[in-house]
Structure 1
Amino acid sequence: MKPLSSHKITLIRSGSRADLFLTRQLSSEQFSYSDIFSMLLPLILDQFFINIIGLLTTAMISSSSQESVSAVSLVSPLYMMIYSIFNAIAAGGTVVVAQYKGRGDREKIRASAGQVMFATSLAAIILCSILMIFANPLVYTLFHAADAIVKEKARDYLIGVSLSLIFHSFYMGSFAVFRGIGETKVCLHLTMIINLIHLFASLLFINILHMDIAGTVISLIIARIIGGIIAVYLVMHKKSSLSIHARDIFRIDFSILKSVFKIGIPFALEQVFFNGGGMLVQTYIVLLGTISVAANAIASSAFSILYACGMAVSTLSITIVGQCIGAGEKKLARRYGSKMIWLGTFVVLLSLVVFMPLMPLILKLYQAQANTLSLIYQLLWIAAIPMTFFWSLSNIMPCVLRSAGDANFSSVSSLITMWAIRVGLGYLFAVPLGLGVQGVWICMGIEWAVRSVIFYLRFRSESWLTKKTID
């Protein structure tokens, strides 16, 4: 059963060498290469839109003060830990919806869509409320070594962003469902709406009204409330390809929730501990000084542009492989899993070639001090070199495995490598060996290399194809 994408990319002339090559490499009875590119292009634009808007808003915060960007950087792993839990539930929902789509069961698609919306929203409300209540002790305990003004701003930002994430969960649930059925154009439209609102609100509250952290928080809340309302409307509208009803959301279906949680819970635990490791990394980066904290934050924001296309392929792999599994086409799932790695490697290389020369222009947006800027360039080049060889295997392959139901292996492997290398070895490199924040980024590349070997061996074993997710 073909994806629901209605407009296909037809820029390549039929019968041309490019057409024959792409047909041989990417087409099958399940998908044509035009189907795949019609889903991929909106995902790429979606990722770029998110990351570029994030870059611009980070630059706005950075222009307020170095303390502000440091505050945001410090608490980001903390709220991302909570965010990752209901994001993982949404990711599990994408796999389930994609597999039912591959099977062609429209009733189950609609029912599972409603359950994803319910589970994502409920988790967000509970977890974000806890984060808001305990924001003050968390910030002052975890980041006691930070400057007082940084801690105060970090606490205010954490409370505000946690509130915004509750509304954002409605959008995330809808997003997960549309991606599962291949409606990536709808996802792009949603992303454009919510991020443009965030950008212009940030411009007003940060640059014009000079509200600093408070301006960032207000713009996030406004954008995510509007985005959440529109997302819910789109999945429930009668003309929607889903057209789910309120009863699909509020009627609990334990068999579907079990399938969602079977994928989502291991991924959620992985993300919790992953972000917990990120918090530990932040605590020892704090010891290196405000310049290191700011450079790490800005470099991370700028670096996100380089892997935006790769993340789009990662998302696409869940839809493509998941639908193949749902259709019972395991050989085809393996074939497309391999193709997604090669496609991811190509787009990452293309991103490096295009954007690394533009980094001087991009980094001007942050108005960083000269010593901070020099450190940022070092961090970007440290990551760019191993990214060429290892990023796709280490980041796309887990999604391929997870889309077939092999969630436990993907999560456990990711956790072990993250904590052993990025956290443990990163501390050794950064503090005792005196390499500073550069040591943390060196270890990130080492982690990618180790993960690549582990996931490649798992993919070759084919044991990932024996898992069962849906009934």
Structure 2
Amino acid sequence: MGQLPLKLRQKGWLEKLAGYFTGESMDYRQMIALFLPILIDQAFIVGLNLVNTAMISSSGMAAVSAVNMVDSLNIFLINVFVAVATGGTVVVAQYKGSGNNEMVGKAAAGSVTSVALLSLAIGLLFAGFHNPILNVLFGSADPEVLGHARTYLIGSCVSYAGIGIVQAVCGALRGIGKTRASLMLSLITNVTYVLLNVVFITMLHKGVYGMTLAVNIARYAGAVCSLIYLFKFETTLRLKLGNLLHFPISMLKKIMFIGLPFAAEQMFFNGGKILTQTFIVSLGTNAIAVNAISSSLAGFFQIPASALSLTIVTIVGQCIGSGNVGDARKFIKSILWLGSSLLLVTAVILMPFFHPLVGLFSPPQEIVGEIFKIVLICNLFSIVLWPVSFITPSALRAAGDSKFTSITSMLSMWLFRVVLGYLLGIELGYGILGVWLAMNCEWGVRGLIFLWRYRGTKWYAHKLI
């Protein structure tokens, strides 16, 4: 027999590949429909943050350093209520998988209400105590950097309730598979933020103060649009304003079963990152700038994998909700391989454009070499370690295995990244490179533990709904 025609051979290869992402719960077409909007969303969020950092660099390295320092605290605080929103996403996805549409709506309402209240409380608390917080964490920074940091922290805290509502609504929509709607609401918030930064920073030269104005207007505009969409256009959930003012305690317990351990994990995990940031502050303003620019570029390279870590919550949540553990196992394995493949492709495509990318930040020439070294090493480690360290816990959490994933992440952060970061970066004199090497090592330790958990049976033994 002769060889098959090229088109038939290609079709067979594509069908085999699609088979890894097709099961009884959903097929590869549904996964692509979930993944693409989240990918676009992550690309815009990271890309626009890249542009925002580049814009604020026009106000000097002190402004870049201040924004980076406060953003480490912002990530710490915002991830606490985003963790509760993730609990809502998991519960919504599992009810959606079980076919119980009435409980889907109640879970969405409970998530929005709890996240809104929590984000408001956190914002008020940290705005009120901004001075002692900055002095404890970053007191060794230059006075100019501290002044900018004070302005940016207060402005960020005021905006928390707005971003909390946006995150909760988008999380609920992702849980039912409405990732396009989630994408549009996220784009409204983030594109508005960038456009306002162009006005306030580039045109009016308001610097860090202009950035705080932009973030508040954009986040509250996004919150208003999110609530309007939820009440007026989302027919699946059928929510009204009264649903947000009253929700059963039993539903809150389900959301918090996932949300609270994840929130605790985020507090300890990002608390470790803040402590690591204090090591970097002691190395000087240039070191802070190196860390800020390297973090922005690393996040840019990790966009596709980050999108997968969000997508897998809906996929595994719906599989577990329908009682199909086999599909959940299969999809986790396939998505881990896909994550590594995407990281490899992204690195190969983007590394040749390193100098144009880093040029967006207008860094002093003496730190460009160190930024390149950090980004290159981070990309090499990411291909192997990032998916198992970040995508796997998202999958386990979607099955209800929140306590184990949270405890593992907290312990690995403090025992490896913080301690090893201090030893390599400060005691042994490797500086910012040592801190990043410690982070990559921590990914490996955490990833191995999560893979061991995935190979067992306890991760899907929880009865959430």
Same fold at TM > 0.5? yes
Of residues 100, 106, 109, the one that matches 2:95 is 100
CA RMSD of aligned residues (A): 1.5
- Structure 1 contact 97–177 (Cα < 8 Å) conserved: yes
Distance in 2 of aligned mates of 1:324 and 1:13: 32
Of residues 154, 163, 176, the one that matches 1:159 is 154
- Structure 1 contact 383–444 (Cα < 8 Å) conserved: no
Instruction: Find the counterpart in structure 1 of residue 357 from structure 2.
Output: 362
For residue 141 of structure 1, report the CA deviation from its aligned partner: 2.3
Match for 2:434: what amino acid?
Answer: G
Of residues 41, 49, 58, the one that matches 2:44 is 49
Match for 2:285: what amino acid?
Answer: T
Structure-2 change in CA distance of 1:186 and 1:13 (3 Å):
farther
After the TM superposition, which residues 342-361 of structure 1 pair with which residues of structure 2 at under 5 Å, given as runs?
Answer: 342-361=337-356
- Structure 2 contact 105–237 (Cα < 8 Å) conserved: yes
- Structure 1 contact 57–202 (Cα < 8 Å) conserved: yes
Match for 1:34: what amino acid?
Answer: R
Of residues 314, 326, 334, the one that matches 1:331 is 326
Local SS of the residue matching 1:366:
coil
Match for 2:386: what amino acid?
Answer: W
Instruction: Find the counterpart in structure 2 of residue 220 from structure 1.
Output: 215
For residue 418 of structure 1, report the CA deviation from its aligned partner: 0.8
Distance in 2 of aligned mates of 1:321 and 1:220: 33
Local SS of the residue matching 2:20:
helix
Distance in 2 of aligned mates of 1:351 and 1:191: 23
Local SS of the residue matching 2:419:
helix
- Structure 2 contact 37–179 (Cα < 8 Å) conserved: yes
For residue 242 of structure 1, report the CA deviation from its aligned partner: 2.2
Distance in 1 of aligned mates of 2:343 and 2:238: 36
Distance in 2 of aligned mates of 1:20 and 1:169: 41
| 2:292 is the counterpart of 1:305 | no
Of residues 59, 62, 76, the one that matches 1:64 is 59
Instruction: Find the counterpart in structure 1 of residue 376 from structure 2.
Output: 381
Distance in 2 of aligned mates of 1:145 and 1:24: 56
Distance in 1 of aligned mates of 2:299 and 2:448: 23
For residue 450 of structure 1, report the CA deviation from its aligned partner: 0.8
Local SS of the residue matching 1:205:
helix
For residue 22 of structure 1, report the CA deviation from its aligned partner: 3.2
Moved over 6 A (4+): 12-15
Instruction: Find the counterpart in structure 2 of residue 81 from structure 1.
Output: 76
After the TM superposition, which residues 391-470 of structure 1 pair with which residues of structure 2 at under 5 Å, given as runs?
Answer: 391-470=386-465
Instruction: Find the counterpart in structure 2 of residue 137 from structure 1.
Output: 132
Distance in 2 of aligned mates of 1:243 and 1:202: 36
Q: Which runs of 5+ in 2 are unaligned?
A: 1-6
- Structure 2 contact 109–247 (Cα < 8 Å) conserved: no
- Structure 1 contact 234–240 (Cα < 8 Å) conserved: no
- What whole-Å deviation, never above 9, does each CA across 1:133-157 have from its counterpart, x for those lacking one? 0111111222111000111111110
Instruction: Find the counterpart in structure 2 of residue 172 from structure 1.
Output: 167
Of residues 237, 243, 248, the one that matches 2:238 is 243
- What whole-Å deviation, never above 9, does each CA across 1:47-88 have from its counterpart, x for those lacking one? 001000000001111121100010111122222222111110
Instruction: Find the counterpart in structure 2 of residue 286 from structure 1.
Output: 281
TM normalised by structure 1 equals 0.95
- Structure 2 contact 341–383 (Cα < 8 Å) conserved: no
Instruction: Find the counterpart in structure 2 of residue 275 from structure 1.
Output: 270
Distance in 2 of aligned mates of 1:228 and 1:239: 15
Instruction: Find the counterpart in structure 2 of residue 128 from structure 1.
Output: 123
Structure-2 change in CA distance of 1:314 and 1:21 (3 Å):
same
- What whole-Å deviation, never above 9, does each CA across 1:405-435 have from its counterpart, x for those lacking one? 0001101111111111111100000011000
Match for 1:262: what amino acid?
Answer: F
- Structure 1 contact 73–297 (Cα < 8 Å) conserved: yes
- What whole-Å deviation, never above 9, does each CA across 1:441-461 have from its counterpart, x for those lacking one? 111111111111111100001
For residue 14 of structure 1, report the CA deviation from its aligned partner: 12
Local SS of the residue matching 1:431:
helix
- Structure 2 contact 320–399 (Cα < 8 Å) conserved: yes
- What whole-Å deviation, never above 9, does each CA across 1:10-54 have from its counterpart, x for those lacking one? xx9999224412332111222111111111111111100100000
Structure-2 change in CA distance of 1:111 and 1:14 (3 Å):
farther
Structure-2 change in CA distance of 1:144 and 1:235 (3 Å):
same
Local SS of the residue matching 2:464:
coil
TM normalised by structure 2 equals 0.96
Of residues 168, 184, 187, the one that matches 1:192 is 187
Of residues 24, 27, 34, the one that matches 1:29 is 24
Distance in 2 of aligned mates of 1:27 and 1:271: 32
For residue 395 of structure 1, report the CA deviation from its aligned partner: 0.6
Distance in 1 of aligned mates of 2:368 and 2:200: 26
Match for 1:162: what amino acid?
Answer: C
Distance in 2 of aligned mates of 1:88 and 1:14: 45
Match for 2:401: what amino acid?
Answer: D
State the aligned residue count: 459
Q: Which runs of 5+ in 1 are unaligned?
A: 1-11
Identity among equivalent positions (%) equals 36
Local SS of the residue matching 2:404:
helix
